[in-house]
Amino acid sequence: MTKQQTPPETTPADSLPDSWVYRFAPAAAVPYLQLMRADRPIGTWLLLWPCLWSIALASHWLEVGWRLGLPHPEFLILFAIGAFVMRGAGCVVNDLADRNFDGMVERTRGRPLPSGRVSVKQALLFLAALCLIGLVILVQFNLFTIKLGVASLLLVITYPFMKRLTYWPQFFLGLTFNWGALMGWAAVTGGLGAPAIALYMGGIFWTLGYDTIYAHQDKEDDALIGVKSLALRLGEATPGWLVLFYGSAAVLFILAGGMAGLGLSFYVGMLLATGQLLWQIRKLDIHDEPTCLRLFKSNKIFGLLVFLSLIAGHYF
């Protein structure tokens, strides 16, 4: 199916019109791929980076991997597939919970569930299939990692409802999206360690920052329909809070690398990565939705910079 064959009314406003979904996927599969956000890969990157960071950090810690200290390709591939599938499953859960709210928001009313292109029953069956694939991936790891993966389902299920209860749903998203920082370490070492805990905590602060930026796109609609977010709570004070969130994330990431014994190049790389976060704050205009989206998406670059810093810190 080509992009030109996709009717505008069946393409969500926040979808990427040039995505592979509209160029190559069969017409019948498009609503399901939209449901799991396959046409918007940034969420997969944000879920995957903490996994890859943790695998790299643990590989250095134990000096194991494809080449001593380098993450084993099998782990990277398995976590990449798992992140794609489970991010999709999380999106299905989120859309099932928010299908009535999404119908009242301009950016999301074209999504498959509120637009009626996928029924609740079909979404539940699709969710079960995604979870089954995720389980097949999960059982490739050690028992402790499997237990951690099962425990994460509690966060996946409860997160979508937090925006009804608290102005800090971004905190619960951080708990959920950075769980891979624990799982990656566990997959390599068979347990947990202080560097993994520091990495996980840093990831939570990182998510508080980038998802607050993202939430500024919807703050007017959220206020009208009664949904809460840090964008509404912080308002014009957002840039100052981002300094706190992103600064804490950088400190905790550096602490994790220090506890794991990484070399000087890691710290040099983290200076560049921290500079990317500062650039986001400097460029932020909370009243300009395209800018908020662009800065939010730029966090995949931050994730790459941290990953390369971890690798460099092992060898140099």
256 burial level (CB within 10 Å; 0-12, 13-18, 19+): buried
- Count how many residues are written for the chain: 316
Average pLDDT score over residue span 107-130: 87
In this predicted structure, the answer to whether residue 21 has a pLDDT above a threshold of 60 is yes
Q: Write out the two tokens for 42.
A: 């940034």
pTM as predicted: 0.89
pLDDT digits (tens, 9 = 90+) for 266-294: 999 999 999 999 999 999 999 999 999 99
Q: Tell me the pLDDT band of 7, cut-offs 50, 70 and 90.
A: very low
Scan for tokens 């998802």, then name that residue: 211
CATH architecture of 41-315: Orthogonal Bundle (1.10)
Q: CB count, 10 Å around CB of 168?
A: 17
More confident residue, 2 or 117: 117
289 burial level (CB within 10 Å; 0-12, 13-18, 19+): middle
Q: With both helix axes pointing from N to C terminus, report the angle between 120-138 and 73-102 in degrees, rounded to the nearest 10.
A: 160
Q: How far apart are CA 245 and CA 237, in angstroms?
A: 13
- pLDDT value of position 2: 40
pLDDT digits (tens, 9 = 90+) for 246-257: 999 999 999 999
In this predicted structure, the answer to whether residue 127 has a pLDDT above a threshold of 80 is yes
- pLDDT value of position 187: 94
In this predicted structure, the answer to whether residue 67 has a pLDDT above a threshold of 70 is no
More confident residue, 23 or 212: 212
Report whether 205 contacts 174 (CB < 8 A).
Answer: yes
In this predicted structure, the answer to whether residue 193 has a pLDDT above a threshold of 80 is yes
Average pLDDT score over residue span 125-130: 94
Average pLDDT, the chain: 88
In this predicted structure, the answer to whether residue 13 has a pLDDT above a threshold of 70 is no
- pLDDT value of position 1: 39
Report whether 176 contacts 86 (CB < 8 A).
Answer: no
Q: Tell me the pLDDT band of 10, cut-offs 50, 70 and 90.
A: low
Q: How far apart are CA 282 and CA 56, in angstroms?
A: 30
Average pLDDT score over residue span 148-161: 90
